[in-house]
Structure 1
Amino acid sequence: MTYNQDAFLADSIRSVLNQTITDLELIVVDDGSADRTPQVVAEFSDPRIVYVRQSNQGPGGAANTALAVCRGRYVALMTGDDLSYPTRLADQLVAHARAGGGVLFSNVDYIDERGHPLVDGHYPKDFFLIPPLSRAEILYRFFQTGNFIHPVTMFAERRVFREVGPYEPLLYQLQDFELLLRLIKRHPFVFMPERTVSWRIRAAGGNLSAFSPFKQVRGENEYYLILRRFFDDTPPDLLREAFGKDFVRPDSRTPEELACETAFLCLRHGIRPLARLVGVERLYDLLRDPQTADLLARKYSFGTTAYVEQLGLIDVMGLTAAHRSYLLGDAGNGFDGGPCAEVVFNPEQEEFSLTFNLAGFPPCRALRWDAMRMRSCSIQLREVVWEDRKGGTGAIDVNLVRPWTGRSTGSGEFVFETLFPALGVPIEGELRSVTFHGRWTPEHPGVSAGRVSNKILEYQQVIAEQGHQLEVARAELEQTRQLLRQK
């Protein structure tokens, strides 16, 4: 699938045609590109290429076209600016057969627009290197943290895609995640550690993989839409295996009981307020039904009073969270659940010193510092110090800290062109506290959010001026009418 990627498309096509497996067809779906994509494809005379040009339908619509056109038994996906390594298909075919089927994924390398390796920024190294996980474990992590599987390496039999149905064309950021969610409910996932694809992350929002405030907001809204149907069509046994340990009542079995449990799972989500909003919506519907309202009262001691209290606790708009800084810990199961500590971050002061109390958190192997919410910025991290539970102290080399959602410019400086600045901190042991010292600058020059905000202000000024001119014109018209009446 490709859209306005003519600068990279030829290399991408060659990477597929040069596979060690030669019995293949390459479906190139041009999703309404306005560049030289047709000419680039025309330069290839290989009969294995099937070129389809269509009006722009988005990444999901383009993928659906490719899946409808292809004829082979197996399907491997990639986009028009990525590169497949020569043995990708051969390696994936062997791994798929060895696993006995399922949906196969592998690791990736990150490259920039020039094809150079990306060392820092966007995603931590080996973010998509996944250990063997059961369907229940994957479903649980999908719910807690979102997608952690790279779709560009997906490999499966064509019938698998037809069984679960097409991509959702109304999603542009998370169409892959929505499909993966349906796939895991019916098929096992298989992971191979080898890198089979170079995944290109382009600057300044050049592709859907690049960060920008606009895309991040759109992604959050799409995540909300997915969460509303997250548990739909989940086999009851899989649901209990994945989430039973978090059920309010572990003996829940009936469809009505499971509906209550999934509502409470959303309501207690530790990371995303939008998930808690979905919980409120589900409980609203359950309380309006006399049968499930009675069940909630009898089995869960939950009624109208408890419900309206939750409405005051869930800050979906971030009215109280915008000035808070969160520290999440990985105690061995990833960064799932809620933050292990939080403190107030004063965005009005550029110098900061934030101390997080970790006394109640289990020993951790890594920390993720979500500096603030709804702020594009740059952060100069000067020092990270810690105190363990025996009173010992130490410091972390700031050069070992890695940006989770941004990029490093060196010497502890990080730039975040995103609405959710986050840093990964490598640390181990039983910690009592961690303190971050540094300086931050809001809306780093060149960040899209700043330009958008300025443009909005310009529009507001224009509207105000036009409104004033309209009032003057109306007054002049009224004066003219009065003069005409007098005459």
Structure 2
Amino acid sequence: MTGSSLLQHTFAYIMSSSPLISVIIPAYNHERFIGPAIESVLQQTWKHLELIVIDDGSKDSTGKVAQSYTDPRLSYYHQENQDAYNTINRGLSLAKGEYIAILNSDDIYTTDRLEKLLAIQQESGAACVFSDVVPISDEGDEFTDPNFGWNLWHKKNRAWYFECKDLLTAFLKGNFMVTTSNLFMTAEAVRTVGTFCSLRYLHDYDYIFRMMLAFPGRVHYVDDQKLLSYRIHSGNTLSEAAITGRLQDVDVIRKYMLAALPEHCRGIAAAGTERLLALRDELEQVRAELAGRTEPSVRERLKLLVAAVRFKLRKKIAGKGRYAKN
């Protein structure tokens, strides 16, 4: 056997004995970003992977860019526009790997992300692993200003996680997983949890709650490593989507707070209720800005005041109930 054929044989053996990781990229109108996203997968230090790119009816050159890559590990599919959650679900149905990861077509993996998360999963037996993230601009520059709005939001969510020491309780305060791009899961876990729901803006948030409820104690947050670059687009503007997203947020929090109450009544109820009240304030502010007002109306202020009073009364009554039992 020649040296080159021995090398090929050794490589083939290593590949066959190593677990296959399936990476799904749902892509829509990201001709500017799809290339770096694909390259961040194909250049992984973990080589035994398949990359499934599904073009969700892009109107630009996203599909052309994706098809320009000749790596045999990449498979390209095109479909009429069906929204992100349906596109991801199609990818799940096509995945052959023992592990499944998702990468949105404008985000970027660090080159060692899959290798590191796989090692953590195999050591911990986790069903799902996600890491901390780096926020980047359209140009790929990191948002390092600590007073940048997203950084303040993410810092607050992480601080609550470190304070409460419970993943599900922390997620009720905010989605510090941030994005579907951050999911690294066993295929077994995906089969158990099922497909993504039809929430346009929060299918990732809903999914991580379902994962935590299906596998208690087996969702692992790698809080000390930033293994994903999450792109925050400068062109994003205030729109009705800001209201829709927050309304969906309320529904998701309410649903999974109630689902978890029998096991974690006090901490979860406190965190979830606080977040719901904060979302109500944000909704009123967004509606006011869309209507051309900078301050809530008198009627809106009264509604907020009544809601706050009711909340305090409920807390007071609940406190009396606890003391009576004691």
Q: Quick one: distance in 2 between partners of 1:116 and 1:165?
A: 35
Aligned to 1:189: 219
Aligned length: 257
Shift of 1:183: 0.8
Q: Quick one: distance in 2 between partners of 1:134 and 1:67?
A: 35
3-state SS of paired residue (1:241) = coil
Amino acid at match of 1:272: L
Amino acid at match of 1:123: W
Q: Structure 2 residue aligned with 1:117, among 117, 127, 142?
A: 142
Q: TM-score, normalised by structure 1?
A: 0.48
Q: Which has the higher strand share?
A: 1
Amino acid at match of 2:231: R
Query: Higher relative contact order at CA 8 Å, sep ≥6: structure 1 or structure 2?
Result: 2
Q: Quick one: distance in 2 between partners of 1:15 and 1:6?
A: 15
Aligned to 1:198: 229
Shift of 1:101: 2.1
* Residues 274/228 of structure 1: CA separation in 2 closer, same or farther (3 Å cut): farther
Aligned to 2:262: 240
1:131 touches 1:191 (CA, 8 Å); kept in 2? no
Query: Identical aligned pairs, as a percentage?
Result: 26
Instruction: List runs of 5+ in structure 1 lacking aligned partners.
Output: 206-210, 247-264, 277-316, 325-336, 339-487
Amino acid at match of 1:138: L
Q: Quick one: distance in 2 between partners of 1:240 and 1:229?
A: 13
3-state SS of paired residue (2:243) = helix
Q: TM-score, normalised by structure 2?
A: 0.69
Are positions 1:180 and 2:233 aligned together? no
Q: Quick one: distance in 1 between partners of 2:77 and 2:159?
A: 34
3-state SS of paired residue (2:221) = strand
Say which one has the larger Rg.
Answer: 1
Aligned to 2:51: 26
Amino acid at match of 1:242: H
Question: How does 1:79-158 map onto structure 2 within 5 Å?
Answer: 79-120=104-145, 121-124=148-151, 127=155, 137-143=166-172, 145-151=173-179, 152-158=181-187
Shift of 1:243: 1.6
Superposed CA offset, 1:188-237 (max 9, x none): 211212111111111122xxxxx6343321111212332453356x4xxx
Q: Quick one: distance in 2 between partners of 1:131 and 1:275?
A: 17
Q: Structure 2 residue aligned with 1:216, among 242, 256, 261?
A: 242
1:137 touches 1:242 (CA, 8 Å); kept in 2? no
Shift of 1:146: 3.4
Superposed CA offset, 1:57-76 (max 9, x none): 21211111111111000011
Aligned to 1:229: 255
Shift of 1:39: 0.9
* Residues 214/43 of structure 1: CA separation in 2 closer, same or farther (3 Å cut): same
Superposed CA offset, 1:116-141 (max 9, x none): 11123342266375898799922223
Shift of 1:83: 1.0
Are positions 1:159 and 2:188 aligned together? yes
Q: Quick one: distance in 1 between partners of 2:136 and 2:123?
A: 30
Shift of 1:110: 1.2
Superposed CA offset, 1:291-326 (max 9, x none): xxxxxxxxxxxxxxxxxxxxxxxxxx97116999xx
Q: Structure 1 residue aligned with 2:41, among 16, 31, 34?
A: 16
Aligned to 2:301: 320
Q: Which has the higher helix share?
A: 2
Q: Quick one: distance in 2 between partners of 1:13 and 1:140?
A: 34
1:74 touches 1:156 (CA, 8 Å); kept in 2? yes
Question: How does 1:194-343 map onto structure 2 within 5 Å?
Answer: 194-205=225-236, 212-227=238-253, 229-231=255-257, 234=259, 239-244=261-266, 265=269, 269-273=273-277, 319-320=300-301
Instruction: List runs of 5+ in structure 2 lacking aligned partners.
Output: 1-25, 281-297, 306-310, 313-326
Q: How big is the alpha-carbon RMSD for the aligned residues of Structure 1 and Structure 2?
A: 3.3
Superposed CA offset, 1:36-94 (max 9, x none): 01210121111111112112121211111111111000011111111111111111111
